[in-house]
Amino acid sequence: SAVISQKPSRDICQRGTSLTIQCQVDSQVTMMFWYRQQPGQSLTLIATANQGSEATYESGFVIDKFPISRPNLTFSTLTVSNMSPEDSSIYLCSVEDDWGGPYNEQFFGPGTRLTVL
């Protein structure tokens, strides 16, 4: 299994600013995912990040608002740009363990709780 850490664990930010969230994995993984979990809601996939290529964004999410970097196989960042109170959520990093079996298990980081004032 993969161990995932995220920084920061929480932050309170002012409207109009940007925050970059870091995700570090203890092993090399091909697929990394970023999710948003709004208060009391389920997880919504923002984008999939593969090393060496542009992230693939889900409907409703755009690169200008949520730029993602994936410089190597163990690290990724998600930036929440020009924040508004509606961006207040938990942001979770996830990785897929492609162990060569019939399915790929996903592991999740501890999340970053973002509050925008």
Partner 1 sequence: AQTVTQSQPEMSVQEAETVTLSCTYDTSESNYYLFWYKQPPSRQMILVIRQEAYKQQNATENRFSVNFQKAAKSFSLKISDSQLGDTAMYFCAFWCRADGLTFGKGTHLIIQP
Task: Decide: is 60 part of the binding site for partner 1 (CB under 8 A).
Answer: no
Shortest distance in whole angstroms from residue 110 CB to partner 1? 5
Residues near partner 1 (CB under 8 A), total:
19
Q: Binding segment for partner 1 among 18-26, 64-72, 80-88, 102-110 (CB under 8 A)?
A: 102-110
Site for partner 1 in 12-51 (CB under 8 A): 33, 41-43, 45, 48
Alpha-carbon distance of 58 to 40, in angstroms, equals: 21
Shortest distance in whole angstroms from residue 12 CB to partner 1? 16
Alpha-carbon distance of 10 to 57, in angstroms, equals: 24
Shortest distance in whole angstroms from residue 74 CB to partner 1? 19
Tokens (6 digits) for 105: 């298990």
- Phi, psi (rounded to 5 degrees) for 105: -80, 140
Alpha-carbon distance of 35 to 106, in angstroms, equals: 12
